[in-house]
Amino acid sequence: MVRFMGIPKRQIVSNIERNERLGLFDQPTQPVNPNLVAELKDDYVYLRHNIFYKLGTYMAHGVVRIAGDCFSGIAHLRVVGKQNLKNINSAIITCNHIHDLDCTYIAHSVRHKRIFYTVSENNNKKGIAGFFLRQGGILPLGGSLTNTKNLSRAISELLDKGSFVVFYPEAELWWNYKKPRPLKRGAYYYATKNNVPILPMFITFAPRKKPRRDGLPKYNLTMHILPPIYPDPKKSKAENAEILRYTNFALWRDKYEEVYGQKLEYTTQNEEVKQELKKYLDYKI
């Protein structure tokens, strides 16, 4: 989702490298303009049921798909693994968060479903931009306990109706960052709570011959739709959430190592974070 103030991409890359060294994998690397963000109040309505809202949402989702086709063309996006979408009625999609517009890449890759996107509170914009984002299917995270309960009910309703709900479990956008990062628990909790699969998607990069104007690499992208991960009815919700989370990371890890031909490693010096990363890196499916 588009939500950041413009700063040079080289500064963003430097911020990402610094955060990786410090083990701050869930921290932002680009500033947010607070003047554009609307407060997430207790009376925020996640889903409306009147005919005008439904019509507006239907049209907005169509626009997102068209935008997805356009931006995916610009990114030379290739989609692989579409066979993993077969026979899935509803699901939680997880994807690495590497671009302001990666939500449109998801829309391009999964064309047959209505998709809703959980986003940071910073994406609850003011004005016409916020109106369009809300019509396009954003579900802002954060706010009060009331908001959290309302969001949970909205996610359950959408999944019951056969929609897909997107989570970015790495939390923050890291522009063009290739490695998978530690995953937050929320997506896996909701998948377990609603007894739906996790559908992991992972974006990888292949350098083009010509770099960007600022000298940084320019990439062609591939969207990998990986096999769905199902909750185990014999296990508790807590156990399922952890298994789904670590299995999701393992699938991303394996795809990273397959595509780039190298072992997944980090520059992190923080010992506590290194131990957490080791659990992810050593996890066996």
Q: What's the CA gap between 63 and 44, in Å, rounded?
A: 24
What pTM was estimated for this model as a whole?
Answer: 0.93
- CA distance from start to end of the chain: 31
Residue 228 confidence (pLDDT): 98
Sheet strand arrangement including 138-140: 78-80, 219-225, 198-207, 91-95, 164-167, 115-119, 138-140
**According to CATH, what is the number of the domain 32-267?**
3.40.1130
Mean of per-residue pLDDT scores for the chain: 92
Residue 78 confidence (pLDDT): 97
Residue 38 confidence (pLDDT): 86
The residue-averaged pLDDT of 85-104 equals 96
Q: Which of 183, 150, 190, 176 is nearest to 252 (CA)?
A: 183
pLDDT by residue (tens digit) across 24-39? Answer: 999 999 998 888 888 8
Residue 4 confidence (pLDDT): 43
Strands 198-207 and 219-225: antiparallel
Q: Which of 133-137, 190-194, 195-199 has the lowest mean pLDDT?
A: 133-137
Strands 78-80 and 164-167: unpaired
pLDDT over 90 at 227, yes or no? yes
Residue 131 confidence (pLDDT): 77
Domain borders along the chain are 32-267
Residue 62 confidence (pLDDT): 80
Tokens of 3: 């939500």
pLDDT by residue (tens digit) across 72-94? Answer: 999 999 999 999 999 999 999 99
pLDDT over 50 at 3, yes or no? no
More confidently predicted of 26 and 126: 26
Q: Which of 45-49, 57-61, 217-221 has the lowest mean pLDDT?
A: 57-61
Confidence of residue 1 (pLDDT cuts 50, 70, 90): very low
